[in-house]
Structure 1
Amino acid sequence: MRDLHGPDSAIDRTLVAWMPGRASATGEDTAEFHLHGGAAVIAGLVDAVLACAGTRLATPGEFTRRAFDNGRLDMSQVEGLADLLSAETASQRQQALALAGGTLGRLAEAWRERCLQLLAEAEAGLDFAEDEADVATRLDLAAADALTTMADELDQMIADSARAARIRDGLTIVVTGPPNVGKSSIVNALSMRDVAIVTPVPGTTRDSIEVPIDLGGVAAVLIDTAGLRDTADPVEAEGIARARAKAAAADLVMHVTDNPDAPLPASALLVINKLDLHGRSAPAGHVAISALSGAGMPALRQWLVDWAAVLLRPGEPALLAHARHREAFAEAAARLREAASAPLPELRAEALRLATSAFARIAGRVDIDDVLDQIFSRFCIGK
């Protein structure tokens, strides 16, 4: 414990931790002040420190940038840490922790090592004399099989990248239906917030309203839309057009009606509202509720939780959530297939070099200057 003093008065009595560069997160000498959390205490220490010559406030992400520059973190770990800072659900947190912990970086490095081994064999094949052509041929066949297998494995990871991106960005659920069937009431009930205006006047909702929700640890966005009907009002008509566009791009359309005899919508969840008035059950696989009384709302929420779990399998690894990672792995897979079918050892070696470079970009070994500023700008001041 230490007593901290400013130029004119005491600031706090607190724990001060000193970490030499070899033991710190950034790789540089670091001091931490574990202050009591009052705003006046924090402001007093900041003012006292800034009064010292050569000191300044850190810029957004500066400590993480220094950790990257000093080799403490690779680029994929930095991106994972940025994701962790913005994670709002358990699945997002788990995905970000795996990335920040270096899982993807280690995987990419293992792939890069495999490429380097095959590249060394390809280079060796160039050295065989003509009377040893049978040896070179056997090396070529073995390498082609290995390269094709590697490309197939990469393609499987890339095919699963859409699931990883949905875990990171969240699912989209669009609520559609005629006016005055309770869409806004259902959005308010599911989000447990009074976010959408509810009135008996048809056409109250003109523009889309987006509300984040947590579905059993999976992030999702509920989108309340304008009621679907024929209208001469140009503003309402624009809202309806936007509602149809949102529904076309959604992961799930939740179609709300108060008519128990409504036809089943194709590839959508039918929600029959106003159960308190008609008392009718929903068809199998769909849900009947009363947004007013709350009847059926737990079943609706559980349906959404189960749907999200089946779609995203949040407990399974999902690493390729970033477009940069997907592009690097896709390029590597394409180069490996080029190498597998290359008619000449020289062309195989060049394709392998390009695949190796693609894997190296995951860790930030090459071609990363254009993404550094964008990534670090997402961090809070100093982090």
Structure 2
Amino acid sequence: MRHRRRATARLRRRRRRLPTRRRHPPPLPPPTPPPADLLDRPLVLWFPAPASFTGEDVVELHVHGSAAVTAAVTAALAALPATRPAGRGEFTRRALAGGRLDLTEVEGLADLLAADTPTQRRAALAQLGGTLRRLYARWRGELTALSATAEAVLDFGEEGGLADAALYAGLVPRVAALRAEMVGHLADGRVGERVRGGVGVAVLGAPNAGKSTLVNALARRPAAIVSGEAGTTRDVVAVPLEVGGVSVTVRDTAGVRRDGGEGGSAVVGGVEREGIRRARAAAAAADVVVFVLDAAVAAGKGGDPDADAAWAALADVAAEGGGTPPPHVLLVANKADLLDGPAAAAAVVDAALTRFAALSPAPAAAVAVSLTAGGGGATALLRFLEGAVRFLAGQPPAGGEGWGDVDAAAASTTTASWVGGGGGWGAPAPATTSGGGGGMREAAVITRARHRRHVTAAVAALDAFLAGRSRRPTAASAAADDAVAAESVAADEADCAYGLPMDVAAEELRTASRAVAEITGAVPVEAVLDVVFREFCIGK
């Protein structure tokens, strides 16, 4: 009995030491019958300026999403004085006008709203986070400082003794360094534009080589018609895919062959001829060309006119010219199961690479596969394509492996090799910053043609500034030819910077600064704004 009393006392002491529990708030009162004019029971959030998305006073009504509720609330708001429906992207446009975002961040937000893949999401978030804004703001600040020095020479040179060629000589290294950085920014392999718009893949080859079968194997669905009849595909069939986290559009094309009147296998009609023309155009515009050849035909000793016509089309596509880099090429020897073992497949792959190397210096890979059910070729082919796509999108190889690592399950039926610079496609493009699987996580890369156009214009202006240095005659060199010319040059050195008049040199710096400012929207660009905000929904 005594032990029981002691235990009870200990429990009471412990209970006194326990923290007092907070009582739950009283339950909500029972709902009353709603009045006839009640529209909804929403959540209302108040954002006082400047702590809001736009920097203005903002009220958000979180209503239930039925059509009846949203229509009633919208109608009630429209009936209030001084209210109207927002236009497309109007809230973001107000944020831009209020300095909450710059134009590159607005474009990043638009890209985030349209992102379909993890790579697009990461790139859009980086741009929305200000990677491009910080880069271009630094460039503009440097150009402003350079322009200020040039303006000082123009405005106060005679009074302050600033009209000295040495002052301009001090600007040249800074201008040259800034120009080099801009040129490096342009030489990014169009990684950002490929991530944003997707990598284009065109499937090219002779009729009945297995192009449509290949597209269906990649899509894992019957996206294209497959038939033993030659010329089944007459138009370009676009199939959107996600490969290695990158948006990809694979385009199946008509088989390229020679007309029967020119030694081909059959007469090519007008419709098929147009399909072949479109096939060539799709391949010319692609980032990657998958060239499919019949391994059994390629292993034969006799030539095939249709295959030769397809190779000629590939040579035209892969030829360098016009300032456009040639596409990456993946040579696929299909129907490898019809060959006499791996040695014969390896011989076909080597012969294909040798033939392509004689046509173009473009980087290429080759693989022999069987796309029949259970052949394992689709898995190996997808691994190869993923390596090329991730390389072009500035992403590190999946799992740290190079593009030439094929799936172990398909290794016995697949023969692979490559030719081209850089040792394959196993590393991200040099213009990006990789790490943590993100590839372009922290890289400030160009994502739109508009950026590239303005940076190119800025580089041209800096080139004009720097080009005057080589054109400026010196008094010493002129003295050897003409004493009068030497005297004239010596007199003009105070008014001329490296062969350019000071006002012209200063204007080149101002032109470069304006070009950079137009990227971020620091100067009025109404036409650009109309295009950008057209991509937004009403709620943004």
Does the pair score TM above 0.5? yes
- Superposed, 1:343-354 pairs within 5 Å as 343=499, 344-354=501-511
SS at match of 1:232: coil
Q: Is the 8 A contact 1:183 1:256 kept in 2?
A: yes
Counterpart residue number, 1:113: 141
Counterpart residue number, 1:143: 171
Query: How many Å apart are 1:112 and its aligned residue?
Result: 1.1
Counterpart residue number, 1:296: 377
Matched, 1:213 2:207: no
SS at match of 1:24: coil
Instruction: Please tell me the residue identity of whatever aligns with 1:122.
Output: A
Of 218-227 and 341-350, the range deviating more from structure 2 = 341-350
Query: How many Å apart are 1:161 and its aligned residue?
Result: 5.8
- Superposed, 1:144-159 pairs within 5 Å as 144-159=172-187
Q: 1:122 aligns with which of 150, 168, 171?
A: 150
Matched, 1:258 2:287: no
Distance 2:530 2:291 in 1: 42
Matched, 1:78 2:106: yes
Q: Is the 8 A contact 2:205 2:291 kept in 1?
A: yes
SS at match of 1:256: strand
Going from structure 1 to structure 2, the CA distance change for 1:44 and 1:132 (only over 3 Å counts) comes to closer
Of 71-80 and 176-185, the range deviating more from structure 2 = 176-185
Of 189-198 and 320-329, the range deviating more from structure 2 = 189-198
SS at match of 2:201: strand
Counterpart residue number, 2:527: 370
Matched, 1:335 2:396: no
Matched, 1:95 2:123: yes
Q: Is the 8 A contact 1:213 1:222 kept in 2?
A: yes
Counterpart residue number, 2:271: 235
Structure 2 residue runs of 5 or longer lacking an equivalent are 1-27, 260-266, 300-306, 319-328, 350-365, 396-438, 469-496
Counterpart residue number, 2:367: 286
SS at match of 2:218: helix
TM-score, normalisation: structure 1: 0.88
Q: Deviations over 1:296-327 (max 9, x none)?
A: 21111111111122233131325222122112
Distance 1:273 1:339 in 2: 56
Matched, 1:321 2:458: no
Distance 2:282 2:298 in 1: 22
Q: Is the 8 A contact 2:192 2:446 kept in 1?
A: yes
Going from structure 1 to structure 2, the CA distance change for 1:170 and 1:129 (only over 3 Å counts) comes to same
Distance 2:36 2:235 in 1: 56
Distance 1:302 1:35 in 2: 47
Going from structure 1 to structure 2, the CA distance change for 1:351 and 1:14 (only over 3 Å counts) comes to same
- Superposed, 1:155-194 pairs within 5 Å as 155-160=183-188, 162-194=190-222
Q: Is the 8 A contact 2:135 2:444 kept in 1?
A: no
Q: Deviations over 1:147-194 (max 9, x none)?
A: 112111111111226232222222221112233333222212212343
Query: How many Å apart are 1:249 and its aligned residue?
Result: 2.8
Instruction: Please tell me the residue identity of whatever aligns with 2:233.
Output: T
Distance 1:232 1:7 in 2: 75
Counterpart residue number, 1:23: 51
Distance 2:252 2:390 in 1: 22
Distance 1:361 1:6 in 2: 54
Q: Is the 8 A contact 2:296 2:335 kept in 1?
A: no
- Superposed, 1:46-65 pairs within 5 Å as 46-65=74-93
Distance 1:236 1:35 in 2: 56
Distance 2:225 2:196 in 1: 29
Counterpart residue number, 1:271: 332
Instruction: Please tell me the residue identity of whatever aligns with 1:346.
Output: D
Distance 1:382 1:58 in 2: 8
Q: Is the 8 A contact 1:271 1:289 kept in 2?
A: no
Going from structure 1 to structure 2, the CA distance change for 1:163 and 1:73 (only over 3 Å counts) comes to same
Structure 1 residue runs of 5 or longer lacking an equivalent are none
Query: How many Å apart are 1:276 and its aligned residue?
Result: 5.1
- Identical counterparts, % of pairs: 44
Distance 1:279 1:300 in 2: 21
Of 74-83 and 31-40, the range deviating more from structure 2 = 31-40
Instruction: Please tell me the residue identity of whatever aligns with 2:445.
Output: L
Counterpart residue number, 1:244: 280
Between structure 1 and structure 2, the one with the greater Rg is 2
Structure number with the bigger relative contact order (C-alpha 8 A, sep ≥ 6) is 1
Q: Deviations over 1:21-74 (max 9, x none)?
A: 211101222222333444444344334433444433322111111111222111
Going from structure 1 to structure 2, the CA distance change for 1:52 and 1:197 (only over 3 Å counts) comes to farther
Distance 1:130 1:279 in 2: 89
